[in-house]
Amino acid sequence: MKAEIITIGDELLRGEIVDSNKARIAERLLLLDLECRHQVSVLDDPADMRDAFRRAADRSDFVLVSGGLGPTRDDLTTEVLAETFGRKTVLDEKSLAVIEAFFARVGREMSDVNRKQAFFPTDADVLPNPIGTAPGFSIREGRAVFFAMPGVPRELDLMMDEQVLPRIERLLVFSEATVGATVGGSRAAPVGAPVERAERQVVRAVLLRTFGMGESTLEAELLDLAREGDVDLGFRTSFPDNFLRPVARAKTAEEADARIAQVTKAIRTRLGAIVYGEGDETMESVVGRLLAERGLSVATAESCTGGLIAERMTDVPGSSAYFLGGIVAYSNAAKVALLGVSEALLESEGAVSEPVVRAMAEGARARFGSDFGVATSGISGPDGGTKEKPVGLVWIALATAKGTHAESFVFQVDRSRHRSLSAQVALDWIRRSLLGVELVGPSLLRRGGGGSAPGGS
């Protein structure tokens, strides 16, 4: 079974935007064990589009098309797809009513061009778009099933998840008909009609997010698990994290569920607190959940991270329940006036020093009356380093009722990565403290050479 992705739009071929739709579609197809064999992008040009559609119909079983469903004259996907395969376009009254209702709801006037979006090729299966004006559709053409979807990422995501993937899954699972019967079959054949699949397997995948161990160390630690036949273990760096993606295949859903649960457990047992989350969880959402569960609160005192820790914590809805506030103490005067760091200490030790970062974390905890106070002070660069305190040096401190933990690192990465890595260590320390595990990040990070290594060539 081969899948192909076609994205349409002049802006893609001019390099005006980076086309992330392809990656998001491909990632989802993988969950159905569907290999994406070709990815093609074409201009809003009927000849090029036609050529791409014909070729895809010849070589692929599932063709995922994104873009060109909008109301403007440049949006040609529906017309060209219909015309390529000798179909007409017909008005779908139900879709028209939905589009009219959409405009009424958002209080905007519906223009005539939007009517165009209620037209579909004959015998198409309409795919609703609850969050936009462009419905998608699906048509079967010979061996191939085409899915036309909007190019707006969040609309595309929702349509993939709610409409397209379930349809593909149905097509893959039911195998009453043979491929022979569907190839060259009637155009009127419903899109939901079954396609045979020789060795149908059920696939389950999990994304495990890790922080604190370099990619090569991770691979070495999990080598035996990665080599088991029915499980693929993927590794991916997403600075400053490393992601693991075990994919299990089995004959039944029960077997696949059991296998993925087993592998996930084995990885978690092996790595311990290095695994901080699963799926969509972020470090800040995990920290937030743990704080909320325990009824504890946090405040920040940031120098080199400049508000990044606070910004990430408050990015989580409901964070006001546990995030009391923070101080971005960029100047020494602010460290003195707002965090109560002593002037003498700043004078004798410098702003990037253990006693100052401790005083900052404790000052934040005291000023905000929070359970945790976390602080950073470092030299993110590109300038400002000295021999004793090089660019890349950062002191991080976590103050709790039991005392304050502080440690220094030298992260030899650029300014933006330095800030992001420092913030991640600070958040990870709150998490580790809440879980009652050692704040071991430092030694692991050091061993890994300045944090999870960025991706290879």
Q: Which of residues 380-399 bind its own copies (CB under 8 A)?
A: 381-383
Longest dimension (CA), the chain: 86
Instruction: Please identify, using beta-carbon distances, which residue of 117 and 138 lies nearer to its own copies.
Output: 117
Number of residues engaging its own copies in binding (CB under 8 A): 86
Collect all residues with Cβ–Cβ distance below 8 Å to 178 and sequence separation of at least 6.
196
Q: Does 360 bind its own copies (CB under 8 A)?
A: no
- Residues within window 422-451 making contact with its own copies, judged by CB under 8 A: none
d(CA 5, CA 149): 11
Nearer residue to its own copies within complex by CB, 273 or 379: 379
DSSP 8-state assignment for residue 402: T
- Give the nearest distance from C-beta 405 to its own copies in angstroms: 23
Phi then psi for residue 144, to 5 deg, are -95, 145
Helices in 85-121 by DSSP H: which ranges? 93-106
CA torsion 139-140-141-145 (nearest 10°) is: 100
Distance (Å, rounded) from C-alpha 441 to C-alpha 420? 15
Site for its own copies in 43-62 (CB under 8 A): 43, 48
Minimum distance of its own copies from residue 191's CB (angstroms): 22
Q: Of 85-93, 150-158, 216-224, 271-279, which segment contacts its own copies by CB under 8 A?
A: 150-158
Q: Does 38 bind its own copies (CB under 8 A)?
A: yes
Give the position of tokens 């936009």. Answer: 132
Please report, as residue ranges, which positions from 291 to 350 form the binding site for its own copies (by CB under 8 A).
300, 302, 305-311, 313-315, 317-320, 323-331, 333-334, 337-338
Q: If binding is defined by CB under 8 A, does position 135 make contact with its own copies?
A: no
Query: Which residues, 6+ apart, have CB-to-CB distance to 380 below 8 Å?
Result: 304, 391, 392, 394, 415, 418, 419, 422
| C-beta atoms surrounding 174 within 10 Å | 15
Both tokens of residue 334? Answer: 């602010």
> Of the two residues 257 and 414, which places its CB atom closer to its own copies in the complex?
414
Interface residue with its own copies, options 1, 36, 148, 160 (CB under 8 A): 36
Q: Does 245 bind its own copies (CB under 8 A)?
A: yes
Q: Which range touches its own copies (CB under 8 A), out of 23-31, 87-95, 183-191, 218-226?
A: 23-31
Residue 189 makes contact with its own copies by CB under 8 A: no
- C-beta closer to its own copies: residue 140 or 335: 335
